[in-house]
Structure 1
Amino acid sequence: MRIKSIISLLGLGALLVVGCKSQQGKFEFLTPKSGETIVLGQKVALRMQFPDTTIDSVVYAVDGEVIGRQRDTAAVILDTEAIGLGTRNLVAKAYKGEKEEVAYSNVTIVPESPRQYTFEKLNDYPHDTKAFTQGLAFENGVLYESTGAGNQLISSLRKVELETGKVLQKKEFTGKSANGQEYFGEGMTILGDKIVMLTWLNNEGFVFNKSTFQQLASFDFQDSKEGWGICYDGSRLIKSDGSNKLYFLDPTTYKEVGSVAVYGSEGSQDALNELEFIDGRVYANVYGKDIIVIINPQTGAIEGQINLLGLHTNPSQPDKELNGIAYDKDTKRLFVTGKQWDKLYAIHVVER
């Protein structure tokens, strides 16, 4: 028994020695751990495990851009404010003579938890249950609405009387686009004396005269392959495509000139749908949910979230989701509705 125990201990010791050697021989990140989530603004130490501390130099990079060079094993500080939101790939390269060792890690930078809001219902108005609402805007006392082709309905652009829900003017879209897809209307926004409207899978947007609904132009999508929501911030059009990105379009050429990825405190936020620009922020329906997120378009950070659960008395049903945001800047009312809802609601947003 004693001999066996000694042999066992010797074997265990050998394993420990081998384990220590293999651990010592691995160049890797100690902090941050791969996959870690970090709040924007934090400063994080990049600490490495070095198999050999007698190195010539270490080079640190984030997404291919060098952020630091060291001639010793001291940590390098990563300023998350400088690199912004999103998943970032970290690489460290250690050099000694002609030998190079490489270590990898990645982190996701997220904003602080958003402010939480609820609503105060001010009024409700009739809404056409044949309106598969995709876009909504309010100007000079009337609503402008774009609809999709759901449940045997025809896509359309409409001018609607707020108090009665009466359709004052309508343009319908039939037929197929060049890619063979049936026209399916999506988001729209007012751009001066024009209306810009998207289609879903047709890779095409339209420009109309706001008064006559006469088509003035069309444009193709570029990196954003689908059309979901669109709004205007006074200098740029801002477009969503169902992903976690907002795309910026030139309001004259309709060409994409940039984009920003949207992140909340839990990570990437996709399914951004109908959009409205209010006081420097983008308000976006999240497809399939009774919430509106408030996005800083400069950083992509979700700064607020409006919970609209319970606003509409009928239970949520497939293809009858909350969709449609319009703003009356004079009274600070927010108008919201949904696909084929029988009501359009005027609300005030209230912080919890």
Structure 2
Amino acid sequence: MNIRYFAGMALLGVLGVFGCKSTKGKFEFIHPESGTRVAFGEVVTLKLNIPFNSIDSVVYSVDGEVIARKTDTTSVQLDTKNYGFGDRSLSAKVYAEGKEDIAYSNIVVLPGAAKNYGFEVVNRYPHDTKAYTQGLQYADGVLYETTGQPSMLDGIVTSLRKVNLNTGEIIKIEQPNEDFFGEGMTIVGDKIVFLTWEHNKGFFYDKNTFKKIGSFEYGNSREGWGLTYDGSRLIKSDGSNKLYFLNAQTGKEEGFIGVYDENGPVANLNELEYIEGKVYANVYGQDIIVIINPQNGMVEGRINLVGLYTEAEGRKQTDNELNGIAYDAKGKRLFVTGKLWPQLFEIKLIER
């Protein structure tokens, strides 16, 4: 054997040592990979690469809350049914060899597929083509409607209205003195709650006189889009994928929930209607209404209203969005319309 042989063997030995060390890698999650989408109720295995010869402990957390403490390197099982939909932040902190290190990952918990619905038109009613509809509710045998005021459209004003369903006649109207863009509304007892878009404020009106009797400031939700009432609290949208819960008497924000379907967060939630325990929401810019479980934010249904009102029938490409949902609880009738639409439609849902 010659010197070059021994040198080669020595070099291989050194590379082997460093090779072995490099395979250890860093302290990190092996599973799940960051951003992994999982179905609600799925059990996810949390597995780490731990590059230490011995450890004192590993602490596992979800969204900052400790879920497990271990003194070995075995994996941990995470049952997603114990957590809400959306992004769940995962972390693991290891204590080993007199040091500590931390690893991060995340998963996105999504619900199962929503039911899909088509529609059948049951009745058509006249609708004011100067009503830039933002809020709509059926009560006392009539419609209550709020409208906005897009600056590019002449003669279209912010208003609060009481409307005859069958004729479209405006029975009562109030045009606020303040210069604000009107948005969604709902009825709470003898009061109407009326949102502004960007003024960070909502108003209380007397339902009979249409006179303003109070106001409230928004909280974390900085804009007003849609509003409904579930019998105990107000539910508000702001164009995001969140529904905010407000005190029905004061308007104070008390919490929120994220809205998700099988594909991820559902944003652009607009006009709202509370119907038999679910929140129906227009998706701004689409001819779609989603049916939301307000307890967990799950989209349980999706109503496709494409073809209800088309350009061939006079619908414009802009400023003509589907917006406005009302429900006759006694007659089990569902009404929908849109901004500047000439008709309001009573529809029946057909499951696909």
State the superposition RMSD in angstroms: 2.1
Match of 2:196 in 1: 199
Distance 1:18 1:119, change over 3 A: farther
Match of 1:162 in 2: 165
Match of 2:304 in 1: 307
- 1:225 and 2:228 are equivalent in the alignment: no
Whole-Å Cα distance in 2 between the matches of residues 30 and 272 of structure 1?
36
Match of 1:4 in 2: none
Residue type matched to 2:265 in 1?
A: S
1:91-170 to structure 2, matched below 5 A, reads 91-150=91-150, 151-152=153-154, 153-170=156-173
Give the SS at the match of 1:81.
Answer: helix
Report if the CA contact (8 A) 2:160-2:175 is conserved.
Answer: yes
Match of 2:232 in 1: 235
Match of 1:7 in 2: none
How far 1:187 moved relative to its partner? 0.2
Match of 2:262 in 1: 265
| Structure 2: unaligned runs, 5 residues or longer | 1-9
Whole-Å Cα distance in 2 between the matches of residues 18 and 105 of structure 1?
28
Whole-Å Cα distance in 1 between the matches of residues 293 and 53 of structure 2?
44
Give the SS at the match of 2:175.
Answer: strand
Residue type matched to 2:289 in 1?
A: I
1:49-88 to structure 2, matched below 5 A, reads 49-52=49-52, 54-88=54-88
Match of 1:179 in 2: none
How far 1:14 moved relative to its partner? 8.6
Report if the CA contact (8 A) 2:319-2:339 is conserved.
Answer: yes
Report if the CA contact (8 A) 2:137-2:325 is conserved.
Answer: yes
How far 1:331 moved relative to its partner? 2.2
The one-character-per-residue Cα deviations of 1:98-140 (angstroms, maximum 9, x if unpaired) are: 1112111011111111111111110111111100000000012
Whole-Å Cα distance in 1 between the matches of residues 145 and 286 of structure 2?
20
Whole-Å Cα distance in 2 between the matches of residues 34 and 11 of structure 1?
38
Indicate which of 270, 285, 290 corresponds to 1:288.
Answer: 285
Give the SS at the match of 1:173.
Answer: coil
Residue type matched to 1:192 in 2?
A: G
Report if the CA contact (8 A) 1:290-1:307 is conserved.
Answer: yes
Whole-Å Cα distance in 2 between the matches of residues 17 and 216 of structure 1?
79
Give the SS at the match of 1:21.
Answer: helix
Residue type matched to 2:251 in 1?
A: Y
Indicate which of 294, 299, 312 corresponds to 1:297.
Answer: 294
Indicate which of 182, 185, 208 corresponds to 1:185.
Answer: 182
Residue type matched to 1:155 in 2?
A: T
The one-character-per-residue Cα deviations of 1:264-304 (angstroms, maximum 9, x if unpaired) are: 11111111100000111110000000000111111111111
Residue type matched to 2:269 in 1?
A: L
Whole-Å Cα distance in 2 between the matches of residues 188 and 246 of structure 1?
15
Match of 2:327 in 1: 327
**Runs of 4+ with >2 A deviation:** 10-23, 173-176, 313-316
Give the SS at the match of 2:21.
Answer: helix
Whole-Å Cα distance in 2 between the matches of residues 276 and 53 of structure 1?
59
Percent of aligned pairs sharing the same letter? 57
Residue type matched to 1:90 in 2?
A: L
Residue type matched to 1:171 in 2?
A: E
- TM-score norm. by structure 1 comes to 0.92
Report if the CA contact (8 A) 1:154-1:173 is conserved.
Answer: no
Report if the CA contact (8 A) 1:332-1:348 is conserved.
Answer: no
Residue type matched to 1:33 in 2?
A: E
Match of 2:4 in 1: none
Whole-Å Cα distance in 2 between the matches of residues 24 and 249 of structure 1?
52
- TM-score norm. by structure 2 comes to 0.92
* Number of positions where the alignment pairs a residue of Structure 1 with one of Structure 2: 339
Whole-Å Cα distance in 2 between the matches of residues 53 and 307 of structure 1?
58
The one-character-per-residue Cα deviations of 1:288-328 (angstroms, maximum 9, x if unpaired) are: 00000111111111111111111113356212100000001
Distance 1:95 1:213, change over 3 A: same
Whole-Å Cα distance in 2 between the matches of residues 327 and 16 of structure 1?
74
| Structure 1: unaligned runs, 5 residues or longer | 1-9, 177-182
Whole-Å Cα distance in 2 between the matches of residues 264 and 271 of structure 1?
13
